[in-house]
């Protein structure tokens, strides 16, 4: 079943690398019916950043990739930038905890400037490593996370959180962290969510669900806001460890095929309504089905 013409089809979290498939992967996304991508930055170099210049170079690469994809494929790309929380693990071993935290805070401030200058739409990924870290690292992780929430509050944008998979208690804890600094919990997105959490149990924090077939089936009728994502990594050395970039449009087509009557309405929730509620604007497509 073809996707409805006026419907944007949005992958809310992916990565692209100049050394990976890059534009070719987005061509596959476009061919499957995809129109808009949220592109999270990543470390494009051999080691984690140890200077603010390296972060600046990294964010610039993400923004340039977004423009290149739009120019060459016509897919609209929204950059999301921040220092990766796991950078603190390596940086603290090399620079010491204090200097690593200082660098991280400066990189978060830089990410905030990108949002203010409209070169990025959100701060992310921020949060906590998905594995156990030494207590002194755990302490700076918390301080860095708090600063990330403050930056989002100050520039008035969403934050995209990296962490272990969360239950309702974890969602409520995130909401609490946001409220502590005066950030609206509805601006907090838990990326790579694999466990559906009922809307009344997540304290307004927004899940971005991994677009696995079973999960999409489980959440597709639930009220928003929520998103779908692949977390595509664009790493030619690790094929198949994550979902392919064509997955979200394919799942959208499956939702429509399953429920011709309500499918489009359901897809409107993650692709339009949720973007509007969390980010404040809506992705749009023209009469040809291309991103505007």
Closer to Zn ion at the Cβ: 7 or 152? 152
Closer to Zn ion at the Cβ: 40 or 172? 40
In the complex, least distance from residue 149 CB atom to Zn ion, rounded to whole angstroms: 18
In the complex, least distance from residue 138 CB atom to Zn ion, rounded to whole angstroms: 21
Q: How many residues bind Zn ion (CB under 5 A)?
A: 2
Closer to Zn ion at the Cβ: 123 or 285? 123
Closer to Zn ion at the Cβ: 27 or 231? 231
Per CB under 5 A, which of residues 19..58 are in contact with Zn ion? 40
Closer to Zn ion at the Cβ: 11 or 231? 231
Give CA torsion, residues 143, 145, 146, 152, to 10 deg. 150
Closer to Zn ion at the Cβ: 40 or 63? 40
Interface stretch with Zn ion, choices 93-101, 225-233, 253-261, 284-292 (CB under 5 A): 225-233
Half-sphere exposure of 118 (CA within 13 A, CB side): 0
Residue 149: name the closest of 113, 118, 180 by CA: 180
Distance CA 69, CA 81 (A): 17
- Beta bridge mates, 193: 209
In the complex, least distance from residue 166 CB atom to Zn ion, rounded to whole angstroms: 16
Contact 56, 110 (CB under 8 A): yes
Interface stretch with Zn ion, choices 46-54, 115-123, 219-227, 228-236 (CB under 5 A): 228-236
Strand order in the sheet with 36-40: 10-14, 36-40, 76-81, 122-127, 159-162, 188-193, 206-210, 227-229
Closer to Zn ion at the Cβ: 3 or 275? 275
In the complex, least distance from residue 201 CB atom to Zn ion, rounded to whole angstroms: 24
In the complex, least distance from residue 261 CB atom to Zn ion, rounded to whole angstroms: 34
Residue 177: name the closest of 142, 140, 227, 131 by CA: 142
Alpha-carbon separation of residue 70 from 14, 55, 178, 212, 242 (angstroms) = 15, 23, 33, 26, 23
In the complex, least distance from residue 13 CB atom to Zn ion, rounded to whole angstroms: 6
In the complex, least distance from residue 292 CB atom to Zn ion, rounded to whole angstroms: 26
Tokens representing 204 are: 């307004």
Closer to Zn ion at the Cβ: 13 or 202? 13
CA angle 218, 290, 286 (to 5 degrees): 100
In the complex, least distance from residue 192 CB atom to Zn ion, rounded to whole angstroms: 7
Tokens representing 18 are: 């100049």
Residue 184-223 contact track with Zn ion, rule CB under 5 A, x = bound: ----------------------------------------
Consecutive H or E run containing 250? helix 247-258
Distance CA 126, CA 180 (A): 17
Per CB under 5 A, which of residues 229..268 are in contact with Zn ion? 231
Interface stretch with Zn ion, choices 54-62, 74-82, 224-232, 280-288 (CB under 5 A): 224-232
Residues binding Zn ion (CB under 5 A): 40, 231
């Amino acid at each position: 079943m073809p996707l409805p013409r006026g419907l944007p089809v949005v992958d809310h979290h992916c990565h692209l690398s100049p050394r990976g498939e890059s534009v070719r992967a987005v061509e596959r996304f476009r061919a499957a019916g995809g129109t808009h991508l949220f592109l999270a930055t990543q470390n494009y170099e051999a080691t984690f950043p140890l200077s603010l210049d390296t972060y600046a170079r990294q964010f610039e690469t993400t923004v340039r990739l977004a423009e290149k994809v739009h120019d060459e494929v016509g897919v609209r790309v929204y950059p999301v930038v921040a220092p990766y929380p796991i950078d603190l693990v390596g940086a603290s071993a090399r620079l010491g905890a204090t200097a690593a935290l200082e660098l991280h805070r400066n990189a978060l401030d830089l990410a905030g400037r990108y949002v203010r200058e409209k070169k990025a739409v959100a701060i992310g990924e921020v949060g906590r490593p998905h594995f156990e870290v030494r207590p002194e690292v755990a302490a700076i992780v918390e301080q860095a996370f708090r600063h990330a929430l403050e930056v989002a509050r100050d520039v008035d944008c969403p934050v995209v959180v990296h962490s272990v998979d969360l239950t309702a208690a974890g969602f409520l804890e995130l909401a609490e962290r946001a409220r502590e600094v005066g950030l609206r919990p509805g601006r907090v997105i838990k990326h790579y969510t694999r466990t559906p959490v009922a809307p009344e149990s997540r304290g307004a924090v927004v899940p971005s669900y991994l677009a696995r077939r079973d999960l999409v089936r489980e959440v597709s009728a639930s009220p928003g806001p929520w998103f779908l994502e692949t977390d595509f990594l664009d790493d030619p050395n690790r094929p198949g460890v994550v979902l392919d970039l064509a997955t979200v449009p394919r799942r959208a087509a499956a939702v429509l095929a399953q429920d011709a009557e309500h499918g489009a309405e359901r897809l409107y929730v993650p692709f339009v309504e949720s973007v509007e509620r969390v980010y404040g604007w809506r992705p749009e497509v023209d009469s040809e089905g291309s991103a505007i």
